Structure 1
Amino acid sequence: MIGIYLSGTGNTKHCIEKLMELLDQSAQTLPIEGKETANLLAQHNFVVLAYPVQFSNVPVMVRDFIKDHSALWKGKTVLCLTTMGLFSGDGAGCSARLLKKYGAKVVGGLHIQMPDSVCDVKLLKKSLEKNREIIRAADRKIENSVGKMKQGKYPKDGLHFYDRIAGLLCQRLWYYGKTKDYSDKLKISKACVGCGLCVSLCPMENLVIKNSKATAGSRCTMCYRCISSCPQQAITLLGDTVVEQCRYERYLEE
């Protein structure tokens, strides 16, 4: 068993690590951008694939990973785990359909609500205590789901036909342009001091330092790592100013 994930602000990383620990403490959990991830994927028959939902769709980086390693999915058993701020429709179903195309057997989908990670938009912002309760509820859902999985009963979040219709009509149809390809909309303000932290964090290697300032390319996968971690709050994507830096560790109990 192996877990593979894309995580921007720590939400998805927390969820897959908790799930994997409960399922099999000896299982490895690896970031999707890891140099050895594809090689290790080839060695395991049961895969948990985890990612944040973006406008009821799969991040482009995750879709590309599935397609680029299409030959490795044949015969694999896959559980799709997705995180979202509020609504995902068929967030798990989007990758499930692609995985099935390449011969994988998708046994389940698990949708987990986590604190909103879109740091430069005010929508869905909640108090610190409310976000902590969201995480506690997420942990309970994971624990309950693992208990059922050990009995062979896998959750089916996002895998039904009506989930697909909900995801399509409520978000994906209207925002398809935002998730069709990588974004070139990442904005870096004059507040940037060229510390290079964003460069080291970007899973797409989309950021470089030029003339002592961070510069973005056109392959942003909208994970929000750089925005959530920039000490100068100099980076934005959807909005123009950082409302709240939404790293998962911010919500840990003191």
Structure 2
Amino acid sequence: MIGIYFSGTGNSKHCVERFLEAYGKGGKAFSIEDETALYRIREQDEIVMGYPVQYSNVPKILRDYIVQNQGAWSGKKIFVMATMGLFSGDGAGVLARLLRRYGAIVTGGLHLKMPDSICDEKALKRPLEDNRKLIAAAELKTERAARALRQGTPPQEGLGPFYHLAGLFGQRLYFYNKTKHYSDRLKIDADKCMGCGKCAELCPMENIYLENSKAAAADACTMCYRCISRCPAQAITLLGKRVVEQGYLEKYLDTALEDDKNLY
């Protein structure tokens, strides 16, 4: 088994890696941004796939990846993991249905609450210790799910008709347009921007660039919040008007990681 993921602030990557550790057999995790990921997918029969839910939907970058490589999924046994700040209904089910359209065999689904990554909204902000508890609970749930899959009884969160209705009427029906297309609403405050280029380096869409020593954005943001969570000047916003709190995985872990890229 291998892991395939898209991760904005490190949550989904962390959960996929924990799943593989608990499952055993030495499986490795690969981002969809990794040039070798598609090759790894084609040579493996079993895959665990993780991603952050956006408005009870799949991030546009991941949906496009599935569709553009639709021939790679036929016959693959895929366990789907969705990370979220609170509730998604059928977060895992949305991707499961797409994968099944291209011939995948979805073996199970898992929903995991993790620290909120939306830096410019107050809604789900929690104290540091509460976020650490969330991660510990998610790790335990992930490990149990991996063992259950090995025993042939994987969880089915997000996959049934009840989950489908909950996701549809809970969020997706009202916010579908927010994830149907890439966003053009990323805002960069030129007065605050230091021109360091970190945002351009981290953007999975290559949507940010430097112009006259200042960062600027095009219209293809996939709303991962990677740039916003890492901007040293807090000069970038998307949904809100100001940065409330920057959130990224190692902030909530005991051991900090040195290289930003290792998080994604």
Range class of TM-score, shorter chain: over 0.9
Deviations along 1:46-102, whole A, 9 cap, x unmatched? Answer: 111110000000000110010000001011111111100000100010011010000
Distance, in Å, in 1 between the alignment partners of 2:235 and 2:28 is 35
Kindly, what percent of the aligned residue pairs are identical? 53
Q: Is the 8 A contact 2:5 2:32 kept in 1?
A: yes
Q: Which amino acid aligns with 1:246?
A: G
- Tell me the C-alpha RMSD between the 2 structures: 1.0
1:127-181 CA distance string (max 9 Å, x none): 0111111111111111221221121111101001010100000100011111111
Gaps of 5+ in 1: none
Q: Aligned partners of 2:141, 2:150: CA distance in 1, in Å?
A: 14
Measure how far apart 1:39 and its partner are: 1.7
- Report the equivalent of 1:63: 63
Inter-partner Cα distance in structure 2 for 1:214 and 1:134: 34
Which residue is equivalent to 2:138?
138
Report the CA distance between 1:250 and its aligned residue: 0.7
- Secondary structure at the counterpart of residue 89 of structure 1: coil
Distance 2:209 2:41 in 1: 29
Residues 1:233 and 2:234 are matched in the alignment: yes
The one-letter amino acid of 1:248's match is L
| Equivalence map 1:1-254=2 (5 Å) | 1-189=1-189, 190-253=191-254
What CA deviation, in whole Å up to 9, does each residue of 1:179-206 have, x standing for no partner?
1111111000021111011111111111
Q: Aligned to 2:103, what secondary structure does the other structure show?
A: coil
CA contact (8 A) 2:17 2:28 kept: no
Task: Tell me if structure 1 keeps the 8 A contact 2:20–2:146.
Answer: no
Aligned length: 254
Amino acid at match of 1:235: I
Conserved in 1, the CA contact under 8 Å of 2:208 and 2:218? yes
Runs of 4+ in 1 over 2 A off after TM superposition: none
- Name the CA distance, whole Å, in 1 between partners of 2:150 and 2:71: 28
CA–CA distance in 1 between the matches of 2:25 and 2:121?
A: 37
Match of 2:260 in 1: none
Residue type of the partner of 1:207?
I
State the TM-score, normalizing by the size of structure 1. 0.98
Alignment partner of 1:83: what SS?
A: strand
- Give the whole-Å Cα distance in 1 for the aligned partners of 2:5 and 2:252: 20
Q: Which amino acid aligns with 1:48?
A: V
Deviation (angstroms), 1:24 = 2.7
Cα shift at 1:105: 0.3
Q: Secondary structure at the match of 2:78?
A: strand
Output the amino acid matched with 2:156: K
* Structure 2 residues not aligned, in runs of 5+: 256-264
Q: Once the 2 structures are TM-superposed, how far is the Cα of residue 253 of structure 1 from its aligned partner? A: 2.7
Deviation of 1:25 (Å): 4.9
TM-score with structure 2 length normalisation?
0.94
- Which residue identity lines up with residue 182 of structure 2 in the other structure? Y
